[in-house]
Structure 1
Amino acid sequence: MSFSMTGYGQSSLQFGGYKITFEVKSVNNRYCEVVLRMPRDWTIYEDMLRRQVQAHIKRGRVDVIINREHTEEAELAQVLNRSAVRSYLKSAEQLQEEFGIQGELLLRDILSMPGVMEFKEDTHVSVLDQDFKDILEQGLNQSLEALLEMRAREGGFLAADLGRRLNHLKELHAEMAALAPVVVNEYREKLRQRLSMLSDGTFPFEEHKFGMEIAVFADRCNIDEELTRLYSHFEQCKALLKGSEPAGRKLDFLIQEMNRETNTIGSKCNHLTLVNLTLDMKAELEKIREQAANLE
């Protein structure tokens, strides 16, 4: 199965008074690059989470974003920190006495100050808790499943499009193969006509030399080897698209080889139709290269 390098997955779980959200995004990259963003006190699990991503994804830049927020139940479980309230009130009195600042603290002002309302101890997540580690693995795995599903779906569309384009290349290849023998025959007839027009009886026509010239031309413009290698590359590309391993890098190599063979055919052929066919093949190969660049 072919996978695209572009995808998105999201999931969320609740644990210890927190709602923990997992967001995974992937885009094209030559290698597998994993970028993690999470609360600072959770970074002890960074290597574990990175390895978890790399176990599923072979190529692409993967951004993993893990956020946390208190659940509604945790919000309701907050308790008043009386020490913090006393400290704020005392500081307000000192400001009035020392600087002559007038005004008074309202209830809503006090409640909005940092540290006045605190969460109970049992609502906090211990980062060393095995259950917490399992939650991180589970949440990331759910996001990765959604990501891989999208990558597989898009990869299927890419593979189908590449298959159609490879079939078009095979059609162009068949036209080249049918036309290749005709090139020598046409050259033979044109050369014979040209010599007949130039002949004024002052020099003899030597069939042996004429045959040697045709043989040299036939050897110079022979494209059988290039056509054979091209067809082999087509079949390898199709096999890669149907396989289970990541095909992006191998496809990139094969496309370069197909371009090289096509350029060789274009330089060897001495026929307008063949030249046009090579141009069509190069244009199609460029489209294939652009599409294959999105595959894992």
Structure 2
Amino acid sequence: MGQAGAQIVPLVSLVRINYNSVMDVIPLSFSMTGYGQSSLQFGGYKITFEVKSVNNRYCEVVLRMPRDWTVYEDMLRKTVQNHIRRGRVDVIINRETADEAVALQELNRHAVKSYLESAEALKKEFGLAGELTLRDILSMPGVMELKEGPAALSAGTPEEYAGMLERGLTESLESLLQMRAREGSYLAADLSRRLVHLEELHAAMAALAPAVVSEYRDKLRQRLSELNDGTFPFEEHKFGMEIAIFADRCNIDEELTRLYSHFEQCRALLDGSEPAGRKLDFLIQEMNRETNTIGSKCNHLNLVNLTLEMKAELEKIREQAANME
């Protein structure tokens, strides 16, 4: 196949962006949602490539293309997987005759004559009625054929077809990655802001935690004083044991420490160079678990309100992280 037959004609102006090369240079977060398109001329055909991606736990590739190109399916699937690490990717490859090739079509009179003779034979043999119209004849296979010439359709070698399909698919994937990168940057910025809010709630919890025991001690002492009518002695030792048991039961230092560690890991993932979606999902589950534990142990209205606010913020983060690669 000559160079002219394999010339690429992009539908849109693309700035080349390769997943691996970009990720090696700067930290980048990718969304799993995007769209890319490209087009090229090859052997008298116009081939268009459309790539759409949506959320998925893994990298799922769905290919739709002309039946005679299914032999290239494995190669095309690997091309997608070299660019996309997570998400469902629908690849649609369409092939249509280019305008310059249509102009070289000519009538196959032998085929027309054969169709007409066959129609007459059917009418006589089976007593059928009806006439073939011009539209009927022109739509029959083989009636219109392409002339031999440099711009006529060319079969090409399997290697040339494989190279053409890989180039066209790569162009559309690069466009797709641009969209995924743009949306991913917005998602990462939003998650970073929400992490700041979580850290503020965490600081408020840490500041409030020591007051829980002291407030309980004061309330319990006051209640015992009100109930004591002189019929029983106040034992400071037992009172201290009760406070110690309560302090141990409502201590949330470990949960707060683990939460802070999870915040740091989330921020490292957002600033890192690897897909963060699945790891973020795991960390959000862990943060929810720690928050639930704090809520069940704190025995304090203000702390309960803080844990409810933190759970609501974590749910928003979970929804956003579900869109990240």
Q: Report the TM-score range of the alignment, normalised by the length of the smaller protein.
A: over 0.9
User: Partner of 2:142 in structure 1?
Assistant: 115
Aligned match of 2:212 = 183
Q: 2:161 maps to what in 1?
A: 132
In 2, distance between residues paired with 1:205 and 1:271? 26
Give the unaligned 5+ runs of structure 2: 1-27
1:9-88 superposed matches below 5 A: 9-88=36-115
- Partners of 2:128 and 2:71 lie apart in 1 by 47
Aligned-pair distance for 1:96? 5.2
Change (3 A) 1:202 1:44: same
Matched residues, number:
296
The aligned counterpart of 2:194 is 165
Give the aligned partner of residue 154 of structure 1.
183
Percent of residue pairs identical: 80
Find the aligned partners of 1:42 and 1:269 in 2 and give their Cα distance.
64
CA distance in 1, matches of 2:205, 2:176: 43
- 8 Å Cα contact 1:127/1:133 also seen in 2: no
CA contact (8 A) 1:6 1:294 kept: yes
Q: Deviations over 1:50-97 (max 9, x none)?
A: 001011111111100001000111101113223212202322443454
The letter of the residue matching 2:275 is P
Provide the TM-score with structure 2 as the length reference.
0.86
2:251 counterpart of 1:252:
no
1:4 aligns with 2:31: yes
Alignment of 1:195-274 (within 5 A): 195-274=224-303
Letter in 2 for 1:233: H
Q: Which amino acid in structure 1 is aligned with residue 115 of structure 2?
A: Y
Provide the secondary structure at the position in 1 that maps to 2:31. Answer: coil
Residue 306 of structure 2 corresponds to which residue in structure 1? Answer: 277
Report deviation, 1:208: 1.6
How far off is 1:126 after superposition? 2.7
Counterpart of 2:15?
A: none
Q: Distance in 1 between matches of 2:132 and 2:88?
A: 51
How far residue 249 of structure 1 moved from its aligned partner, in angstroms, is 0.6
Name the aligned partner's letter for residue 281 of structure 1: M
Q: Distance in 1 between matches of 2:91 and 2:180?
A: 16
User: Which residue identity is paired with 2:216?
Assistant: Y
CA RMSD of aligned residues (A): 1.8
User: Given that residues 41 and 127 in structure 1 are in contact (C-alpha distance below 8 angstroms), is that contact kept between their aligned partners in structure 2?
Assistant: no
The Cα of 1:105 is off from its aligned counterpart by 5.6
- Residue 295 of structure 1 aligns to a residue in which SS? coil
Aligned pair in 2 of structure 1 residues 272, 102: CA closer, same or farther (>3 Å)? closer
Q: Aligned AA for 1:144?
A: L
Deviations 1:183-209 (A, max 9, x none): 011011111111111122222222222
1:111-143 per-residue CA deviation (whole Å, 9 max, x = no partner) reads 343311112466334363322221111100010
Structure 1 unaligned spans of 5+: none
